[in-house]
């Protein structure tokens, strides 16, 4: 559970960061990390169109640089975008100055006030600095679709078990997650719709 749905004591380590949007309404926020890439992202967009769902894509700046047409597809299909650093780097491994410079580089390609740190790892000074310019979005449910030891059923069951009103759910439009995500993500959308959930963007 610690990974799939971070507990309260972990969340309090990051003040001013959004993990979930508490609400009495049955709504969720579907998000995708690590794209855009031409091998996966267009397929994700087609699935979202099929179900009439809008999502938020936290994009890696270097992928946007390499695949601007794929990134533009995300925008044109009416989805929200956010900054996921330029090189998908972890804040704990970098001095704050260098980490912020990498995010700023990504921001030159991604026009958004939303930011999600790769792996959810940041130093406290990084959190304080980023809060001045970004709305930092974490998650309430991470599907672990990237995990090679999980299968699509496992990923789907994570969504079933942990989703609640206002959950921010994370999938990945990446090659590493593709095998699990291609099956589990449509099943998850169908199940969430059956349960009466509405999809919103951040």
Catalytic residue ranges: 33, 172
Q: Do residues 139 and 158 touch, judged by C-beta distance below 8 A?
A: no
Cα 136 to Cα 133: distance, rounded to the nearest angstrom? 9
The Cβ of residue 119 has, within 10 Å, a number of other Cβ atoms equal to: 14
The Cβ of residue 192 has, within 10 Å, a number of other Cβ atoms equal to: 23
Q: Which two tokens stand for residue 191?
A: 């199940």
Burial 49-71 (b: 16+ CB within 10 A, else e): eeeebebbbbbbbbbbeebeebb
């Amino acid at each position: 559970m610690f990974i799939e749905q971070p507990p309260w004591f972990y969340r309090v380590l990051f003040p001013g960061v959004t993990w979930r949007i508490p609400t009495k309404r049955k709504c969720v926020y579907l998000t995708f990390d690590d794209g855009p890439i031409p091998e996966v992202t267009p397929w994700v967009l087609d699935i979202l169109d099929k179900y009439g769902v809008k999502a938020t894509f936290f994009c890696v700046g270097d992928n946007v640089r390499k695949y601007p047409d794929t990134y533009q597809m995300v925008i044109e299909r009416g989805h929200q975008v956010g900054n996921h650093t330029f090189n998908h780097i972890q804040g704990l491994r970098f001095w704050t100055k260098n980490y912020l410079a990498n995010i700023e580089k990504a921001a030159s390609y991604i026009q958004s006030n939303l930011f999600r740190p790769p792996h959810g790892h940041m130093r406290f000074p990084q959190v304080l600095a980023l809060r001045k310019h970004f709305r930092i979005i974490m998650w309430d449910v991470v599907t672990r679709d990237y995990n090679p030891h999980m299968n699509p059923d496992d990923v789907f069951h994570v969504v079933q078990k942990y989703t609640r009103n206002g959950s921010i759910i994370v999938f990945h439009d990446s090659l590493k997650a593709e095998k699990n995500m291609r099956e589990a993500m449509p099943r998850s959308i169908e199940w969430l719709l059956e349960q009466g959930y509405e999809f919103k963007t951040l």
